[in-house]
Amino acid sequence: MPTPPSLSRRALVKGVAAASLLPLLGANLLACSDSGGSRSEPDVPLPPPGVAARFEHGVASGDPLSDRVILWTRATPEAEGFVEVAWELAEDAEFSRGLRSGRGRTDAAVDFTVKVDVDGLAPATQYYYRFRVGERVSPVGRTRTAPLGSVPAATFAVVSCSNYPAGYFHVYREVAVREVDAVLHLGDYLYEYAPGEYASASAEALGRVVDPPSELFSLADYRRRYAQYRGDGDLQAAHAAHPFIVVWDDHEIANDTWREGAENHGAGEGAFSARRAAAIQAWYEWLPVRPPTEVAEIIYRRQPWGDLLDLLMLDTRVVARDRQFTYAELASGGSIDVATTRSAIADARRSLLGDTQLSWLREQLSASAARWQVLGQQVLMGRYWLPAPIMEALDPTLADGNALQAGTAAVLAAVEARNTPEAQRTPEQQALLDSAVPYNLDAWDGYAAERDALLRFAADLGSRLVVLAGDTHNAWSSQLRTPEGTVAGVEFATPSVTSPGLEAVLGEDAAALFAPLMTTLVDDLVYADFSRRGFLTVRFTPEAVEAQWRYVSDIRESGYQLNAQAERSFTVRRDDLRLV
C-alpha cells in the first residue's frame, strides 16, 4: 500500500507542531551531567527557583539500551509556573555511589512530566534513581540496562489491557515482585470510555469511577485519565521495580483505531486527526518511552538484548492499518457469507503494517544474528478459524436471544465432526467444518495475505520467531505456520490486567469449558484460557524459550492470591520451534 499521507514531511511538521509535541523533543528533557564521586545528595542547588511540587504519580523507567535508559516522573505543581526538578542515578538504593545527576525544568507544555535519557551507562547493570523538587524527594525507582555480547538468559513480563474501572491492578503488583529484566506492555494501557460504559459495572463500588467523567477527546482529557491511572499504587510499584518497553494499541486513542479513524469515533465528535494527535502527545508525556526524533506516529523499534534476542516492537494499529472488516458487513440475514469473508481478508492490498514498517521489519529479520527474533506487538498473529455458526453466536452484531444455546450446539457439533475420521463424516459435518472463518477480524487473520507473506519470509530466513500479543484479554499459545504447513515460529498471548475476556460474553463456566474445545477446533492452537486475568512471563536461553501464564484469583476484591492450579507453561526449543 502507498505510504500514508500522515508520514509526509509537510504533514509531520504541521502535525507535531499542532500537537505541541515539540517541547518533548528537547526543551523539557533534563540534561545529563557526569558528576562522578560518591555522595548522598544531588550536586544541584536547592531549593529550586521554580514553584513547589509533589510527586503523586511515582517514577518509571523505560526503553533500556546497553548504555542508556529513560527515567520518568511527574511533578504536580502547587502553583502556576514552571517546576525545577533535580534527578540522580546511582548504583545502590542508598545513593552512596552516585554516577549521574542533573536538573532541568518542566511546565504545563508537557503536563509537568519529566524525562531524562541517561547515557554513558554500563550494560546489563542495575541502577537506582530518584527525583527532587526542593526538599521533596520522589520514591526510588530501580532500572536495568540491556546487555551486550553473550547473554545466558533473559526474562520478560508481558502485560496488556488494563481497564481502571473493571477492577484492581493486582497483576501489576505481582509483576512488581518478579525478577524480570523488563516489562513488555503491549497496549491498551488505558481506556478512553466515559463512566458507566465498558466494563464499569463494579466501578462505583470499587471506588474506581474514571476521570474525567466523559469520553476522552482532548489533550486535557487524555492527560487527566493518565494521571488517574498513574495514581494507582500497584501500577506505580510495577513501574518503580522494572524498566518498561511499551507500544500502544487502540484504546490509547479509541476502540478499534485504524489509520484514519476508529469504531469509537463518530462523525459528530470532531476531527479524528486532532483526537489522535492529542492522544499520542499524552502517551509520550506519561509513558517512559524515548521521545520521537522525527515522526511522532512511528513507534516501531529494535531493542537488542545482546546475542540472545532482538526484540522488534511493532505498531499494528495506528501508523498504517487499513480499516478492519466486521461481520456485520460480511453477513446477510444474520448469516456470515463465507466466500465473501475469505475473499475480503485475502486481499493482498490490505495491510496492518504498511510498506515502510514492513520493509523495516524484513530488514531487521534479515540482519538479525541473535538466537531469537521476538515480535512485541498488539494482535493475534496465528490462524484462529471457527465454523461460521459458532462465530454467528459469538458476534454480538449477529447473535440473537438464543445465541448461547445456538453457540453451544454449534460447538458440540463441530467438535464431534472434528473427532470423526474424515472418511466417516456426514456431508453436514464436513460442510460445518468447511464453513470456518476467522475468530477475530481485528487481528492478523483479517489481513491474511500480509501475515502469510511475513511468515513465509521468516521461515525462509530460518528465523527463530517468537510472537507476543495482547489485545484479546485472553491467554493463547499457538504454533505459527506458513500456508504450506512449514513451522515459522510460535505465538504467546497474554491475558489482560483487568479487561474482561470471553467470560463476559459466555459466562465464566461456559468460557472455561470453551477454551479446551477451541484447541480441538483450531489446528495450531495449543492452549487457551478465556476466563482469568493475569500476565505472561517469557524466559529465553540460547537453546529454548519458556512461556508461563499466571493468574490472580479476583480483581474485584482488594485481597487476592495467585491461582497456582491455573498456571500453565510451555517450552519451545530453538532447534525445532515446536510447542511442548
- For residue 37, the model assigns a pLDDT of 35
Residue 71 resides in a domain: yes
The residue range of the domain holding 38 is 31-145
The C-alpha cell that represents 369 in the structure block: 544474528
Indicate the pLDDT class of residue 43, thresholds 50, 70 and 90: low
pTM: 0.93
- β-strands 154-159, 534-540 pairing: antiparallel
The mean pLDDT of the chain is: 91
DSSP letters, 357-381, are HHHHHHHHHHH--SSEEEEE-SS--
Q: C-alpha 403: how far from its chain's center?
A: 31
Looking only at Cα atoms, what is the longest distance across the chain?
Answer: 84
Specify the CATH number for the domain of residue 120: 2.60.40.380
- For residue 406, the model assigns a pLDDT of 86
- β-strands 475-481, 385-386 pairing: unpaired
400 CB-contact burial (10 Å; exposed 0-12 / middle 13-18 / buried 19+): exposed
Residue 424 resides in a domain: yes
For residue 49, what are the contacts with CB-CB under 8 A and spacing of at least 6?
84
- For residue 407, the model assigns a pLDDT of 87
Residue 269 resides in a domain: no
- For residue 21, the model assigns a pLDDT of 29
Helix (H) or strand (E) holding 273: helix 272-286
pLDDT over 70 (residue 557): yes
For 30, 54, 79, 135, the CA distances from 51, given in Å and listed in that order, are: 17, 10, 6, 12
- For residue 441, the model assigns a pLDDT of 98
240: closest CA among 70, 57, 30, 58?
58
- For residue 4, the model assigns a pLDDT of 35
- For residue 159, the model assigns a pLDDT of 99
Residue 139 resides in a domain: yes
SS3 126: strand
Contact 414, 436 (CB under 8 A): no
Q: How far apart are alpha carbons 540 and 547 in whole angstroms? A: 9
Mean pLDDT of the region 138-150: 98
- For residue 20, the model assigns a pLDDT of 27
User: Partners of 331 in the beta sheet?
Assistant: 336
Q: Which residue has the higher pLDDT, 34 or 159?
A: 159
Instruction: Choose the weakest-confidence range: 3-12, 39-48, 169-178, 375-384.
Output: 3-12
Question: DSSP assignment, residue 164?
Answer: G
Mean pLDDT of the region 12-29: 32
Q: Which residue, of 100, 116, 145, is where some domain finishes?
A: 145
Instruction: Choose the weakest-confidence range: 108-122, 362-376, 399-413, 442-456.
Output: 399-413
- For residue 38, the model assigns a pLDDT of 33
Indicate the pLDDT class of residue 486, thresholds 50, 70 and 90: very high
The C-alpha cell that represents 439 in the structure block: 475468530
pLDDT over 80 (residue 26): no
Contact 102, 34 (CB under 8 A): no
Read off the pLDDT of residues 294-321 as tens digits, 9 standing for 90 and up.
889 999 999 999 999 999 999 999 999 9
Contact 503, 513 (CB under 8 A): no
Indicate the pLDDT class of residue 418, thresholds 50, 70 and 90: very high
For residue 248, what are the contacts with CB-CB under 8 A and spacing of at least 6?
187, 189, 283, 299, 315, 317, 318
SS3 506: helix
Residue 515 resides in a domain: yes
The C-alpha cell that represents 492 in the structure block: 504467546
- For residue 195, the model assigns a pLDDT of 98
User: Partners of 115 in the beta sheet?
Assistant: 29, 72
Q: How far apart are alpha carbons 480 and 205 in whole angstroms? A: 43
For residue 227, what are the contacts with CB-CB under 8 A and spacing of at least 6?
57, 74, 211, 286
User: Partners of 411 in the beta sheet?
Assistant: none
Mean pLDDT of the region 413-425: 97
pLDDT over 50 (residue 15): no
Q: Which residue has the higher pLDDT, 477 or 403?
A: 477
Give percent of the chain with pLDDT exceeding 90.
Answer: 87
Residue 279 resides in a domain: no
pLDDT over 60 (residue 271): yes
User: Partners of 147 in the beta sheet?
Assistant: none
433 CB-contact burial (10 Å; exposed 0-12 / middle 13-18 / buried 19+): middle
Q: How far apart are alpha carbons 500 and 511 in whole angstroms? A: 11
Read off the pLDDT of residues 50-92 as tens digits, 9 standing for 90 and up.
999 999 999 999 999 999 999 999 999 999 999 999 999 999 9
The C-alpha cell that represents 478 in the structure block: 499457538
The C-alpha cell that represents 167 in the structure block: 477492577
Q: Which residue, of 145, 161, 193, is where some domain finishes?
A: 145
Read off the pLDDT of residues 495-553 as tens digits, 9 standing for 90 and up.
999 999 999 989 999 999 999 999 999 999 999 999 999 999 999 999 999 999 999 99
For residue 569, what are the contacts with CB-CB under 8 A and spacing of at least 6?
546, 547, 548, 549
117 CB-contact burial (10 Å; exposed 0-12 / middle 13-18 / buried 19+): middle
Q: How far apart are alpha carbons 200 and 167 in whole angstroms? A: 9
CA angle 188, 192, 195 (to 5 degrees): 125
Indicate the pLDDT class of residue 3, thresholds 50, 70 and 90: very low
* Cis status of the peptide bond prior to 47, with omega within 30 of 0: yes
Residue 26 resides in a domain: no
pLDDT over 70 (residue 25): no
Instruction: Choose the weakest-confidence range: 33-37, 233-237, 346-350, 401-405.
Output: 33-37
Residue 381 resides in a domain: yes
Number of domains in the chain: 2
